[in-house]
Amino acid sequence: MRHLLVFIVAILAWLPLQAQRPPVFRASTEQVVVPVTVKDAQGRLIGGLEAADFRLLEDAVEQKITGFSADPASLSVAVLIDAALSRPTAHRLRATFPSLAEAFSEFDEAGVFAFDVRFRTVADFTSDRDRIYEALKQMEIGAEYSQAGEPLSAPTPRINGWPVGGPPPSVRSGGAAPPMFKNVDDAVYAAARLLRARDPGRRKMILLISDGLNSTRNQVSTSDLLATLRKSGVGVYSIGLDDAKLSRNISVLARYGPPSGGEMFTVLKKTSIEPVYARITEQARYQYILTYVPQKPPTVAPVFRSIEVRVKRPAVTVIARDGYIPEPRAPQP
């Protein structure tokens, strides 16, 4: 009995110490998923590749590919449209909406969203293409914004950012400038967060249509946005209109592709934008999916790790996200 009493006293003394000790978190091994698109010299998708056709490197160190899939996937798409396009461009864009709605299969789902200085939902996610088209038709897009781009396929020379002929009357007269700016970064961030809540079995993408004129008033920082894209698994496919097509490599739209595994397309006229819709959805649907377990264990601080995917074929273009930020390992007590 005396031994039992001593044991109980010891246990009671041990419990408060355990309550004060912080919990120990041990991170499990992280599996990294890398969607990959492979195109030939003419920009056509290359199918029929096997896992052995790929090499995958993290921070320049080759990794063992532990999972591979070439199966098509259904899509969850956030259609994100710039509402502050010039009126002529908006009119031409609106004429392409039937083709946009038809770019989705019966197994896909799409939500329709618009933005200028604010992000707003036009229609929630649905697989009904008629509802998608009705939402697109009801969108209010197009405004007389002085920097909202020139009519599709009709670029106008600019001096110091203004169209030739000088700034708009409101600026010349000293009055308040019209609401010409739009927060593209904030809109992409909001769309990515909505997509994260969708069915994890679907391939998630943002279809962004804009001239890429971005304000300096975004609430989300560029670094936070790119980090979110790298973590979310959401691909951003941008269609650049007007100014974006004139500054393809430096447009704000171009920076969303590398961290997300998406791509930027530029169009010159209405008839060239319609085939791009189906091209983008096909590209997202038929991506190769590579998975691997990093050789390097996670660190306490989240540090960016680069990803490079190579294909053992000549004259191909490989599109994959440029890296990721692993979940940090909690410090050991």
Structure tokens at 213: 């004129």
Asked if residues 323 and 304 have their Cβ atoms less than 8 Å apart, the reply is: yes
Specify the 3-state DSSP secondary structure of 282. Answer: helix
Half-sphere exposure of 104 (CA within 13 A, CB side): 30
Asked if residues 85 and 211 have their Cβ atoms less than 8 Å apart, the reply is: yes
CA distances (Å), 308 to each of 51, 141, 261, 321, in order? Answer: 15, 39, 11, 8
Read off the pLDDT of residues 231-269 as tens digits, 9 standing for 90 and up.
888 999 999 988 665 565 668 899 999 999 999 998 866
Query: Does domain 75-285 fall into CATH 3.40.50.410?
Result: yes
Report how far residue 84's alpha carbon sits from residue 181's, in angstroms, rounded to the nearest whole number: 8
Residue 316 pLDDT > 70: yes
Structure tokens at 112: 């329709």
Specify the 3-state DSSP secondary structure of 98. Answer: helix
Structure tokens at 275: 């085939």
Specify the 3-state DSSP secondary structure of 35. Answer: strand
Read off the pLDDT of residues 134-153 as tens digits, 9 standing for 90 and up.
999 999 998 654 443 334 44
Name residues whose C-beta falls within 8 Å of residue 157's C-beta, 6 or more positions apart in sequence: 163, 164
Read off the pLDDT of residues 65-91 as tens digits, 9 standing for 90 and up.
999 999 999 999 999 999 999 888 899
Specify the 3-state DSSP secondary structure of 123. Answer: strand
Task: Tell me the pLDDT band of 298, cut-offs 50, 70 and 90.
Answer: confident
Asked if residues 232 and 192 have their Cβ atoms less than 8 Å apart, the reply is: yes
CA distances (Å), 122 to each of 63, 116, 161, 219, 306, in order? Answer: 43, 13, 31, 21, 36
Q: Where are the domains of the chain?
A: 32-71+289-324, 75-285
Task: Tell me the pLDDT band of 288, cut-offs 50, 70 and 90.
Answer: very high
pTM for the full predicted model: 0.80
